[in-house]
Amino acid sequence: MAGRKQFDIAAALDAAMIQFWRAGYADTSVDDLSRATGLNRSSIYSSLGDKDTLFLRCLERYSTRYGEKYDAALSCAADRPLAAARAFFDVTLERIADPGLPDGCLVAQTVMASPALSAGVAARAREAIGFQHTRLRAALKVGRLDDEAADSLATHLAAVNQSLAVMSRAGTSAEQLRAVVDVALGAVAQRVGARDRHAAARPRPR
């Protein structure tokens, strides 16, 4: 049909996302994006936007894709904080272990590159980081942890999750990453145990 686009926009966005993920925003040129997507420069600009716009679209795509995976993992262990945290980290470890994907995390890399980004893109990356804390806190609250414990643990777990991405890019082995996760899960288990001991010690109503 006349005027019909002769390429798959979803596939092009995925290819661009992988390019940005592998090399970062600053070290990815429009020519790099052209090679990654198989599109010429004019097609990129007309269909996907300029570099800044395309990067934001890729960041949104990444955040939505993995945000949904994290949400699904947490919801499968709704009232069990330790199981929820383990499922959350499993999403990250499975992504890191996938040989078809770059190491690290596009959101974490974007936050670290904030000085080279537009204010809008940098703000969106910080927002995506914040969503991790929000979803973890909500899951821990469902698991009947109090506000203080849920908030502090969510901050800790989100920080560990981002450190896994950075460590994976530095070549840390899967076994070492799992050991880091086990320590973080130990902190959750300790809080859950303290909660249960406190609940057991409360006098029962007569």
pLDDT tens digit sequence for 136-189: 999 888 888 889 989 999 999 999 999 999 999 999 999 999 999 999 999 999
- Beta carbons of 62 and 107 less than 8 angstroms apart: yes
pLDDT tens digit sequence for 102-123: 999 999 999 888 888 888 888 9
pLDDT at 206 over 70: no
pLDDT at 78 over 70: no
Q: Residue 204: what pLDDT?
A: 56
- Beta carbons of 164 and 96 less than 8 angstroms apart: yes
pTM: 0.85
Which residues, 6 or more positions from 126, have their beta carbon under 8 angstroms from its beta carbon? 111, 114
Average pLDDT on 34-47 reads: 94
Supply the DSSP symbol for 79.
Answer: T
Of residues 1 and 93, more confidence is placed in 93
